[in-house]
Structure formats: structure tokens, C-alpha cells
Amino acid sequence: MKLEPAPVVPRAVTEKAAEPPRLLIYSHDTFGLGHFRRCLKIAKAFNSAYPQSAILIVTGQQQAERYRLPEGTDFIKLPAVVKVGESRYQPRSLGSSFEKIFELRQNLISEAIRTFQPHIFLVDHAPLGMKGEIKKTLQELKAKNSSPALVLGLRDILDEPEKVCAAWETEGVYPVLDEVYDRIFIYGTSKFFDPVSEYRFGCKAREKTDFTGFISDGNPSSSSPAKKVGRSARQKILLTIGGGEDGMEIVYNYLVMLKELGDEINAATTIVLGPFMQEKWRRMLIAEAIGLPVRFEEFLPELAPHFEKADLVISMGGYNTVVEILSSARKALIIPRIYPRKEQLLRAQRLSELGLVNYISPVDLSPGKLFDVVYSMINDPTNKLFQARKKNPLPLDGAAKLAELCHPLLTSRGVLK
């Protein structure tokens, strides 16, 4: 399917504000780094569109303090929990029961809203929050005469449609979409994947839903990376597995591949293990890499500049990583996560159909399979992926578009004159 060219989205019109616009973003953050990184991009665009605005991110992200915050932005750290299975969580650090941590998180979120008094309350990804922790707060806010605009932001793909629909039916999400949220923003395009149809939005929810395009820091690269082909031309490969809670098998298979067949691949590799990788795995992988042309990093808060320098990026299929890959126009190999949800697999398959990335299912992952694909990609002088992205561009201006869509919400609350 051919995608239409991405529309040019004007910056939100900045008008004289009656008072500084206040945006509160809630991000449950129970796995990986992606949700918080996306929130930072939204905060940056919102402040750019509405100077002097105040943005508060309420997050469970344990690594939040390691990121550079956009102007006008601060965060409140919730006690961290980690997802350990299908709808199952446990405290990440505190020696307390999940029930007590859950209650503490609820109270902190409610108090942040009461004290900060945002004009817009943007909920990232989870319509009811982690295990429904914001459902009561949403309903209370909706019942008030003077309350913030309640906005839900959803990434392009959540999971297999039948699983999402069944969960939403059981958890009571559909009535909240219809009756509680004022607007729903989807961080993608319907021509890539249409959550409105796939996840069976009701009529009321459909009417208040907009697609923003993909949430990116800026404009995609317009120039193809320099061609470096041949045994004398050393390649730069970047391998990243997000937060590092999973993905160890990808790194291990890659290192075994380099040991067995690395002479055929003239490349220097940087591997980002992630801050959440278990120490025993980290030590094992570093020991496995002795003597190989590999450099390890634990954590890089800004991956985009490293993507720009790489000839090939190997990663899992998380939303933010994929968007940054598309923005940098680099060759990319995606090896998606398939548990506890199929989100990354569905995204990788769709991108592969469009010719925008190559992907290997983790079921098929082996050193030999990795070698075949990596060798083929780094020795491809045409960069078919770059050409495909020029032919079928995905809109990567979602953060600016989201800020623009907030304009009527601020105007209706008397914030903008």
C-alpha cells in the first residue's frame, strides 16, 4: 500500500496567554524507557508552541533524572513497579506490597493534579493507568464543572486487536473512551495502522479521535548516508535493546555471530545494553565479547545522534526507537519482542511490508540468520530502505501536530485569548 506524502503541519499559533498554559502528562512507565522518552518529545513541542508554558510529567520511570528536560518541564517520580507478566506487576525497588505501592501512586497522582491544576491532563498509552490507578481520578475530574481537558494519547499499535478488545471490554475501557475523555490522540497514521477500527472504538470515541503522526524530535534526514562498500570500508553498527530488561538473546546471538563469522563483516559495533539489564547477564555478555571489535554502553539518553553516525542499526521494535530510525534514514534491522504482547512484531511486519526496515522474528533468531541478513545489508550499495522511505514517507511531525491540536482545548478554558 502506498502512503500519501506526509502533510506539512504548521506550528501551533502562539497567542497572548491569559496565564501560562499548564500541561500534566501521566506516564505509568512499568517497562523500558519508551514512554518517558515520548513524553519528553511532547513536552518540548508543547513548550515551543506555547512559550512560558509549565509542563509536569508524573512518571514511574526510574531513570527519569538521567534525561535532559525540555524548557519549562519538570517531573514527579512515582514509586517504580515492573511488569512481570500479563497484567501482573510488582514493586521494582521498594520492599513493600504491590497494594501499598498502588495506593501510594494513586495518592501522588491525585495530589499532583489537585495542586498543579493543569489545563490539560494528557494520559500516555494506558487509558485507565497501570491496573486502573487513574480511573477514579478521571471520573472525579469529569464530574467537576471546572476541570482540565482530559486527553488520551495512544501509540500506533498496542497489541493484537483481539487481545486489546477483550481486555478493554473486561476492564471497562470503552465507556471511559466514550464518556470521560475529551479528546483521543493517536501517535501514528491510519494508513500505517488504524486503532480506531482495529480496536473497535465506539461512535463517540471515533468522533473525538485525531491522528497526530509519529512523535519525533524533528524532521527526517533528507540525505542518504555515504556508501561504504567493500572489505576495506569499515562499517559502524549500533545495536540497542532499549531498557535491557529483555533482548539479551539478541546481543548474545550477535556476539556468537561475530566470533564465528566476524571476519566476513568488517565493522565496529557499539552495543547499548540498557540500564535495567540484570548484572549477571551484563557480565556474561561482556565476557563473551573479549577480543571482538565491540564497545558497550549501559545507557545513552540521546540515541538519535548515534543513529545518525551508524551505517546499520539493529534494535528491537519499540515505538520510539523505530521512529528515530525512520528519522535518521539509516539501514535498520528489527528483531521484535513477542512477549508479553505482539506490538513490536506487528509494527516490524508492517514496516517490512512497506520496505522501510528488515526484520527477523525472534523465533528464527540464530547467529547464522543474523550473519546472512547483516552481511547482505551492509554490502547493499543501493540502500533500498532509504529509497523506500523517500517514496512512502511516514509523517514524523506528531509532537508539533499534538501541540497544535491542544490549541482549541486551551482556548475553550480561557488560557489563550
Residue 357 inside a domain? The answer is yes
Could you say which DSSP state residue 313 is in?
E
64, amino acid identity = A
Residue 210 inside a domain? The answer is yes
Residue 362 inside a domain? The answer is yes
Which of 328, 323, 333 lies closest to 309 in space, CA to CA?
A: 328
Which of 131, 141, 153 lies closest to 179 in space, CA to CA?
A: 141
pLDDT of the residue at 178: 98
The CATH number of residue 83's host domain is 3.40.50.2000
Residues 329, 327: Cα–Cα separation, whole Å: 6
Q: Are residues 175 and 262 in the same domain?
A: no
Residue 225 inside a domain? The answer is no
How many Cβ atoms sit within 10 Å of the Cβ of residue 388? 15
Q: Are residues 363 and 408 in the same domain?
A: no
Residues 394, 135: Cα–Cα separation, whole Å: 33
pLDDT tens, position by position, for the chain (417 residues)? 444 444 444 444 445 567 899 999 999 876 678 889 999 999 999 999 999 999 999 998 888 888 899 999 999 999 988 777 666 778 877 878 889 999 999 999 999 999 999 999 999 999 999 999 999 999 999 998 778 999 999 999 999 999 999 999 999 999 999 999 999 999 999 999 999 999 999 999 999 999 999 998 765 555 555 555 444 568 999 999 988 889 999 999 999 999 999 889 999 999 999 988 999 999 999 999 999 999 999 988 888 888 889 999 999 999 999 999 888 868 999 999 998 889 999 999 999 999 999 999 999 999 999 999 999 999 888 777 778 878 878 999 999 999 999 999 999 999 997
Q: Are residues 197 and 267 in the same domain?
A: no
Residues 6+ apart with CB under 8 A from 51: 14
Q: Count of alpha carbons within 13 Å of 250, Cβ hemisphere only?
A: 29
Residue 109 inside a domain? The answer is yes
Residues 51, 211: Cα–Cα separation, whole Å: 24
Residue ranges making up the domain that contains 94: 22-219+396-412
What is the number of domains present in the chain?
2
Could you say which DSSP state residue 131 is in?
G
Residue 382 inside a domain? The answer is yes
Q: Are residues 118 and 244 in the same domain?
A: no
pLDDT of the residue at 146: 79
Residue 207 inside a domain? The answer is yes
This prediction has a pTM of 0.90
pLDDT of the residue at 89: 79
Q: What are phi and psi of 362, to 5 degrees?
A: -60, -20
Residue 182 inside a domain? The answer is yes
Residues 44, 51: Cα–Cα separation, whole Å: 10
- H/E element holding 100? helix 98-116
Q: Are residues 128 and 263 in the same domain?
A: no
Residues 220, 398: Cα–Cα separation, whole Å: 12
Q: Are residues 261 and 355 in the same domain?
A: yes
Q: Are residues 375 and 402 in the same domain?
A: no
